Structure formats: structure tokens, C-alpha cells
Amino acid sequence: MTLRPSDSPAAAVGPALAQKLSDELGIGTVGELLRYTPMRYVRRGESSGGSAPEKGDWITLVGTVTRADERRMRQRSGTFLSVTVDDGLRTYVVTFFNPRVIKRVLRPGVRLMVAGTVGYFRDQIQLTHPDWLVLPDAGSPRLDAVGSPMLAAMAADATSKNGASADGVEIDPADFDRPVLPIYRATKALQTWTIWKAVQLVLDAVEWGEDALDEAQRAQRGLVTTAEAIRAIHVPEAQEDIDGASDRLRFDEALAMQIALAQRRLADRGRAGPGCEPVAGGLEDRLLERLPFTLTDGQRTVLDEIRADLSAGEPMSRLLQGEVGSGKTLVALLCMLRMVDNGRQCVLLAPTEVLAAQHHRTITRMLGDLAIAGELGADPDATAVALLTGSLRTQARKEAMLATVTGTAGIVIGTHAVLEEKVEFFDLGLVVVDEQHRFGVEQRDTLRSRGRGDVVPHMLVMTATPIPRTVAMTVYGDLETSTLRELPAGRQPITTNVVPAGKEKWERRLWEVVDEEVGAGRQVYVVCSRIGDDGTPEGQRSAKRAAEGGGGDRAARPTTSAVDMFAELTAGPLGRHRVELLHGRLPADDKNAVMDAFTRGEIDILVSTTVIEVGVDVANATTMVIVDADRFGVSQLHQLRGRVGRGGLPGRCFLRTSAGDSSPSMERLRAVAASNDGFELARVDLMTRREGDVLGAVQSGEASSLRFLSLVEDADVIDDARGLATEVVHADLTLADHRPLADLVDAVMGPSRISYLDKS
């Protein structure tokens, strides 16, 4: 019997187990089964390893009984057996009720396999009445059928005449006597050793075909073949086998992802992009002449990179990332004006109405009379800047759509409303997407499909969240990257302090500072993690998410909502100042009115949620208080505080928190307070979140198929894989001449994940 990776495993493991693998683990092919690799390994006398399990996890452990005590139950008659199992790293208390037979078997010194649901009592891991099986001593010729009913039956099957278990696979007692025993992420209905035996049966039948890397490529990197790696990862004899297999499978994951991204990055190669050459004396030149400052070296460098793409004749796909306040919006505006100078239109897509309105205010203010085409006394070279959002009233919406379809508006700024089919452009040449992570590729491509004829508009996506290099090469790997690190001259650093909530002296001084800033004629943000209108279903859900967010010392503590903070401030000494409330569920007109009033200086203290996180630019705002700061991520805190100190005055940020002094949350806050370097903080953020959250953007929220690759630790591997992937895809976009590589991409990423990658 020979199986290919794309075949069903039923021929090797039987239809019953094949169905169970599908139902319990979502495994439908031989390849998927073989890439369902062990979560850890157990060695004789060594730990089951890994971090401590979470409450509710289903775990399998192998250890030695160190203590067994029979005790009387307090609430009812009868006894229970408390067994302490040591796996070499930590101890587990395993409890059995009515242990008349079990107590004779589970004595100190017995080697035991246990499978059950994790609970905790006073920080001690507990398993109550789990499945269990006594394991043989070294060299034992048989697996004794001693254990809970299900596992004992499996053990009995293993020693029966035909050797077939209830799942249709033979369990070899010698398997439990190996020097290295793999432990798989299992379920109650599908135990780790059943998975392992299924893997072994398939390994003996699979035919791999040609390796994705040739001999020279493997030798250059010191890698074994994928077939050798898959076998070694499941049936290792020593740690060296696991290490060598992990190295190859890590590179396979990096290479598969980078090939998929390179294909998307190069998909528009050869297609026509809008021509865009400099126009002497055009809007771009005139804005540059009017600027009251000079561009930074970083802005000039990035502009040169983007302008080269705009004039290359092919559609541009570029990511512009930069520090908070580094001038990305100005760079984007200059690029848009060059496009308008060439007779084409631009659209700027923003994730929220607050940010879209802010961009509209900023751009029209910067352009002045160059942004009022069609109005009396307008400059002959002027264009119009249209705002198109979902909450516009009917007449305003009609006017914006008319200016868009006729080409009167050279720049259209909007939210998801511009993605609607009825929104038509006269001649769209450039799509600018702000806060790229809030939009999917499919949404961006909706706009790219609206160019005139066969011309594909250029694409510039921006993020004010600095991105570690490994993330840029993965989550944003379909885009060329430009980076702005340098801040404009005169920009003052922001001083950040952590304020422990509940300490009266600190709290009093915090609000005194706010009072002093307002008294000096400056403005203040107070940012809360949730809205707090808990009478609505949305409010109840947000309050529940806030209460559950993060676990540990955060989970039990209530948070202060924006609604409650507004009430507290207006009722206290600060109530004599002009205090206003802003959050995402206010009517759009009210949101705009509040933001406009704050921009004009008519509001002293703005109590807000994170709707002001990006793009909002009020020069007179110098101070920010972030309430329950431990509820925010590192990069989000850096984003938020970037709203202050933008007008040449020093900025101050206070991180108010109830987090414990030695908690991980407090460590994160101290890291934010200690650095204004967004790129360093992005690295800290990645270390905190690990890759699961990051790669969720690529993998549609599914469990990560990347089991070996780390965005924290494997920058060199990702860089190497990106170079090889780019080289291959440049020469063979569809991988028609590199079938093994195409198979690798499919095996690692999976068809559904590749499909999502094309839409994410």
C-alpha cells in the first residue's frame, strides 16, 4: 500500500479512526496528519515540559506517583484517593472517588499516564477522576490492562490475538518504553497514543516524491529532507533527531508563507499602472513651496522610493510605516497631488469616521485655496477634496458621489462607504489605505479594480504602528516597505509616568497636573478602555469583554468606563472646566461636532475611548491620561500617547493602572514609560503577544498551522526564505516548473489558508 500526502489516511488507519481524526482534529489527508506534530516529548525520568497548562485544558502527562493518600469526603460519606504525580518539572494532584480498586494499584513508584481536564486549587494543578493507565517498566514484554475502563480496554486490545484496538490500530507495548515519547494535543475521544499509532501507520505507507529543496539548497542550510524531518519529529530516537527535524520544518513554514506572499506581491507584474511623472508648477510643487518647514531626510527618502514606483509603469504595492508623528500623512498627500497633477484621482480609505473627518480637515487646511475647485474665486489649478462616509446626509452624500464620478474631486476621503458598488470614480490612479491592519486585502482590491480600462491603480498602505522586521516580512510580506523613523524638527519627546490607581497621593497629583495644564490654556485627553453604556446590548458585551480581557490579576478588577469617568470628572473639581465625552457609538454628527470643538480649543478635557487612537492631530493637546492602561497593548499605548505634544509643546502621558507591582502588565507599562522608540516597543509587544495574535491576521483566526516558526526568534530564517521565494517566484510566478514547492505551500499553508491569505 502506497499513499500520497493528498490521500485520505483511511487505507492505513481504517475508516473508523479516519473519521475520528476528521471529527476531532479536522484532519482529512495523510499530509495533514503527518504535519500534526507533537506538542512536546516525554523522556524517561524527565519532565513533560512546556508551560503550565490553562484551566480547562485537556492534557496528557506521563509521570511517577510520589504520594497516594486516601481521605474521607467532608460533605458526604465515602472516601477519595489523592495521588501526587511528578513529571519531572511540576507536580499534579490527581483525585479519584470511591477508590476501592485504584488504591491498590496507584502506589508510590508506579509510572503512570494520565489524561484529563485541568483545574486549579490554590495554584496547584488538579485533575479530577481522569483517564489513566499504568505504564510498563523498562523492558516489559506487555502492556498490562490496568487503568480506567477506556484506556484499560485499549491496553487489553493491544495484547489481544489480532492486536487491533477499538479504533482499528494496534498499540505496541514497546512504544511506551521508547527513550523519547511524543505527546500530541489530544481530545477526550482521541488519545495521544492513538494519534501516534495512526501517524506511525501512515509513515510506513506514505510516498513523498521529490523534495522541495534540491541537494545543494539543503547542503547550504544544513537541512535534512522534509520526509526525513517528518519521520524524525514523530519517531525520534534522541534530541538531535528532534532538533534537525525542527530546523527543516521551520524553514518549510517560512518558505511556504514567503512563496505565497511573493506570488501576491508580484501578481501585478507586467500589468499597466497609471503613469505619474512630476509636473512642474503643479499642486505638488505649490504645496511644497507653501510648507512652513522643510521635509525631514526620512520623508525625502521615502518620497523618492514611492515616486520611483509611481513612474515605473506597473502598479505599486507599498507599505509606509512610521513613528507616531513622523509625517506619513504629508508624504501620502504629496504623492496624491502628483497623481492629481497627472489628471487622475486618489482615494484615502480610513477605518473610522472620526479619522476620515480628521484627514479631511487636515488636508483641506494644508491645501487651503488649492482644495476648493468649483467654488467662487478658487485657484485655477485647484482640486476638490470630497468626504464620503456612511453617516452623511442624503444631499451631502449625493454631492460627494457626484464630485467623485465626474472627477471634480481629485482626492476622495472616506470610510468603508467608498467600497460600495454604487461609488464610481472618474479615473482612479492611487489608493491610500490608512491603518492597513483594519482592512483586508479583499477590501483594498475592491478599489484597485475600479481603475479605468485595464489600468490598475497604485496602492499605498500606511500604518502608524511600527512593525518589527519579521512581521513586515510575513503579515505585510506582499508589500514593499518604506519606513519613517525620523520625527520633524521641533517635536518634543513625550514624558510618560505610570500612576498606581488607588494610591491617594498619586491620584491627587495626577488630577492636579490636569488642572494645571488646563489652567495654562492647554487641552487634555482622558482615554478609557470601554464606553460604559451598559444598558445597551453592545455596552453589555463590551463590559463583559473588558472584564474578561487578559486573565491573571486583570480579570477580577472592574474597569472605569468613559461614561463613568465623564460623570466623575464633571462632578468633581475639574467640572468647572469644559469637559466633553466622545466614543464610537455617538451619532456621527455628534462625534464630528465634539472633535471639531476640541480642535478649535472649545473643549478643555476630552474623555474618550480609542476612537482618537490614530490620525487625530490637535496641536494644543499636551497631556493624556490613559485609565486602566493595562487593558491596552504596548503598541496601542504608544499610538495613543502620540496624540499629545504635536504642537511644539512638551507632551505628558500618565498610565493609570491597578495592575500588581510585579505583574506582567506592570512590566509592559514600565517598558512604555521607559521608551519613546516605537520600533523597540513593537518588539516588546511582539515578545508579549508572541506570534499567535500576529499571524491571526494571515490565518483567519484559525489555529496556527505554523508550529515551528517564531516571529520573535527566527528573523534570519524568514529573511533567507524570503530571498529564495522571491528568486523562485520572479522566474516562475505560478510555480509551474517547481511542483514540489507548490505542494509544500499547499501542505503548510493549506488551501483554505492560502485562499484567506488572498483576502486578508
Mean pLDDT of the chain: 82
Q: Can you give the pLDDT at residue 208?
A: 87
Please check the confidence at residue 556 and state whether its pLDDT lies above 70: no
Q: Place 302 in a pLDDT band, splitting at 50, 70 and 90.
A: very high
The one-letter amino acid code at 382 reads A
Least confident range of 226-240, 408-422, 696-710? 696-710
Given a contact cutoff of 8 angstroms between Cβ atoms, the answer to whether 471 and 444 are in contact is: no
Residue 51 identity (one-letter amino acid)? S
- Summarize pLDDT for 164-204 with one digit per residue, the tens: 444 555 556 566 656 777 888 888 788 777 888 899 899 98
In a domain, 305, yes or no: yes
Same-domain pairing of 428 and 501: no
Please give the residue that has the higher pLDDT: either 722 or 374.
722
436 Cα distance to chain centroid: 13
Residue 550 has pLDDT above 80, yes or no: no
Q: Average the pLDDT over each of 40-54, 201-215, 599-613, 670-684 and give the range with the smallest value.
A: 40-54
So what's the pLDDT on residue 137? 62
DSSP-H helix ranges across 204-238: 215-221, 226-234
Backbone φ, ψ for residue 564 (5° rounding)? -70, -40
- The per-residue pLDDT for 275 is 85
Which residue has better confidence, 541 or 188?
Answer: 188
- 452 and 516 share one domain: no
Task: Please name the residues in contact with 43: beta carbons below 8 A apart, sequence gap of 6 or more.
Answer: 179, 180, 181
Could you tell me the CATH number of the domain that includes residue 338?
3.40.50.300
The pLDDT of residue 540 is 57
d(CA 526, CA 151): 58
Strands 494-500 and 131-134, bridge-based pairing: unpaired
- What is the average per-residue pLDDT within 560-577? 93
More confident residue, 472 or 235: 235
Q: Are 643 and 499 contained in the same domain?
A: yes
37-46, 327-336, 520-529: least confidently modelled range: 37-46
Q: Given this model, what pLDDT does residue 704 score?
A: 46
Pick the last residue of a domain from 650, 675, 700. 675
User: Cα(760)–Cα(753) distance, rounded to whole angstroms?
Assistant: 10
With 70 as the cut, is the pLDDT of residue 339 above it?
A: yes
Do 564 and 584 share a domain, yes or no?
yes
134-142: Cβ within 8 A, 24+ apart: 134/105, 134/106, 134/110, 135/62, 135/111, 135/176, 136/111, 136/173, 136/176, 136/177, 137/111, 138/44, 138/177, 139/177, 140/173, 140/177, 141/173, 142/173
The predicted model gives 456-481 an average pLDDT of: 77
* Sequence-ordered list of residues with C-beta below 8 angstroms from that of 318, at least 6 positions apart, any chain: 305, 306, 309, 459, 460, 461, 479, 480, 481, 482
Between 724 and 51, name the one with better pLDDT.
724
With a cut of 80, say whether residue 530 has pLDDT above it: yes
The DSSP result for 28-47, as a single string, is -SHHHHHTS--SEEEETTS-
Q: What angle do CA 736, 742, 747 make, to 5 degrees?
A: 160
Residue-wise DSSP of 348-407:
EE-SSHHHHHHHHHHHHHHHGGGGBTTSTT--TT--EEEEE-TT--HHHHHHHHHHHHHS
441 and 511 together in one domain: no
Query: What is the SS3 assignment for 504?
Result: helix
Q: What is the pLDDT of residue 162?
A: 40
**For residue 49, what pLDDT is reported?**
53
Q: From residue 143, give the alpha-carbon distance in Å to each of 112, 159, 683, 684.
A: 12, 7, 49, 49
Q: What is the pTM of this model?
A: 0.67
Question: Is residue 408 pLDDT above 50, yes or no?
Answer: yes
Give the length of the chain.
760
One domain, residues 529 and 454: no
Q: Which of 651, 675, 699 is the last residue of a domain?
A: 675
Comparing 149 with 745, the larger pLDDT belongs to 745
Across residues 199-216, what is the average pLDDT? 91
In terms of phi and psi (left: phi > 0; alpha: psi -120 to 50; beta: otherwise), the region of 727 is alpha
Q: Is 495 exposed, middle or buried (0-12, 13-18, 19+ CB in 10 A)?
A: middle
Grid coordinates of 426: 472618474
Do 91 and 84 touch, CB atoms closer than 8 A?
A: yes
Domains identified in the chain, total number: 2
Instruction: Examine residue 440 and state whether it is found in any structural domain, yes or no.
Output: yes
| Contacting residues for 482 by C-beta, under 8 A, at least 6 apart | 302, 305, 306, 318, 319, 320, 321
Are residue 440 and residue 507 in the same domain, yes or no? no
Q: What average pLDDT does range 389-412 have in this prediction?
A: 91
d(CA 593, CA 599): 10
**440 and 348 in one domain?**
yes
Beta bridge partners of 41: 182
Do 514 and 625 belong to one domain?
yes
User: Looking at the domain assignment, is residue 249 inside a domain?
Assistant: no
Choice among 260-274, 401-415, 621-635, 655-669 with the minimum mean pLDDT: 260-274
Instruction: State the average pLDDT over residues 468-474.
Output: 69
Residue 146: per-residue pLDDT: 58
- Mean pLDDT, to the nearest integer, of 715-729? 92
Is residue 507 domain-shared with residue 386, that is, in the same domain? Answer: no
**pLDDT at res. 536:** 53
According to the model, what pLDDT value does residue 495 have?
93
State the pLDDT confidence band at 613, using cuts at 50, 70 and 90: low
Pairing of strands 428-434, 345-349: parallel
User: Could you tell me if residue 324 is inside a domain?
Assistant: yes
Tens of pLDDT, residues 22-54: 999 889 899 889 999 998 887 644 445 566 778
Q: What is the DSSP string of 542-564?
A: HHHHHHHTT-HHHHTS----HHH
Residue where one domain finishes, among candidates 624, 645, 675 = 675
C-alpha cell belonging to residue 53: 497548562
- Non-local CB neighbours of 222 within 8 Å, separated by 6+ positions: 247
- Distance CA(625)–CA(674), nearest Å, equals 17
Domain encompassing residue 561: 494-675
In a domain, 630, yes or no: yes
Which of 345-354, 464-473, 477-486 comes out lowest in average pLDDT? 464-473
- Answer yes or no: is 418 within a domain: yes
Is 22 part of any domain?
Answer: no
Amino acid type, 446: T
> Is the model's pLDDT at 621 over the cut of 50?
yes
Of the listed ranges 167-176, 412-421, 445-454, 525-534, the one predicted with least confidence: 167-176
Q: Are 656 and 557 found together in one domain?
A: yes
- Kindly indicate the confidence band of residue 699, based on its pLDDT and cuts at 50, 70 and 90: very low
**Who has greater pLDDT, 459 or 271?**
459
pLDDT of 141: 47
**What's the average model confidence in pLDDT over 340-369?**
90
Contact yes or no for 393/588 (Cβ under 8 A): no
- Distance (Å, rounded) from C-alpha 70 to C-alpha 393? 74
- pLDDT tens figures, 216-232: 999 999 999 999 999 99
User: Do residue 609 and residue 638 come from a single domain?
Assistant: yes
Residues above pLDDT 70, as percent of the chain: 82
SS3 label, residue 591: helix
Note whether residue 74 is domain-resident.
no
